[in-house]
Each structure stands twice: as C-alpha cells, then as structure tokens.
Amino acid sequence: GNSVTQMEGPVTLSEEAFLTINCTYTATGYPSLFWYVQYPGEGLQLLLKATKADDKGSNKGFEATYRKETTSFHLEKGSVQVSDSAVYFCALSDDKIIFGKGTRLHILP
C-alpha cells in the first residue's frame, strides 16, 4: 500500500540556517504530494503541493520538488526564521490522503 516516510525530529536549527526535511514515499499509482505545517495549538495548513513528476511546489520561502526517480519530496528553505518553528507533515494522496509521522522543527534566535 501507499506510505510516507519522513525524517525523525526534532530538528533544531539557528535562525537563518538552511533547512532540509526529508520525505520519501511508496505509491502504486501517481499520487499528488503535499507538505502541511501545524503551528502550536492550531490545525494543519497546506504549505505547498506538487501534482506530477518534476513539479516544484513553493510557498513562504519553502520549496519541494516531486522526484519520481527517487520517490522523494524533500522540503527546503534557504534561511529559516523563529516563526517557522512548527511540526511539518509530508503527505500523499491517491484515493485518500496519507500523512507522514511529522517532523518537529525548533528554530533558535
């Protein structure tokens, strides 16, 4: 069946550092891929998405590229801010959405 694997957290970085959160997937079809973010005390928000191979999703300085050959959708940001501290979920959807376990990100000032 379909599944999503993302790197274990927590990830702790200093402000302005480069961020990568790894995500790989297993799917029988051609899923769409997503990153969701959950700030403390809130629900999830869609951060970015990609619907086919080689698509790049981007939003708020975050980027992720749909890599079919490596079945990956790694999240990157060039310079993180304290306000980026949150839990990030990689997800795929085929007939229904499947979330990864989440990666907690702490950004230190």
Site residues, another protein (CB under 8 A): 31-32, 34, 36, 41-46, 49, 89, 91-97, 99-102, 104
Q: How far is the CB of 78 from another protein (least distance, A)?
A: 25
| CA atoms of 37 and 72, how far apart (whole Å) | 18
Q: Which residues contact 26 (CB under 8 A, 6 or more apart)?
A: 1, 2, 3, 4, 5, 71
Q: How far is the CB of 38 from another protein (least distance, A)?
A: 9
Q: Are 3 and 97 in contact (CB under 8 A)?
A: no
Nearest CB to another protein, comparing residues 100 and 107? 100
Nearest CB to another protein, comparing residues 64 and 91? 91
Q: How far is the CB of 1 from another protein (least distance, A)?
A: 14
Q: Are 2 and 98 in contact (CB under 8 A)?
A: yes
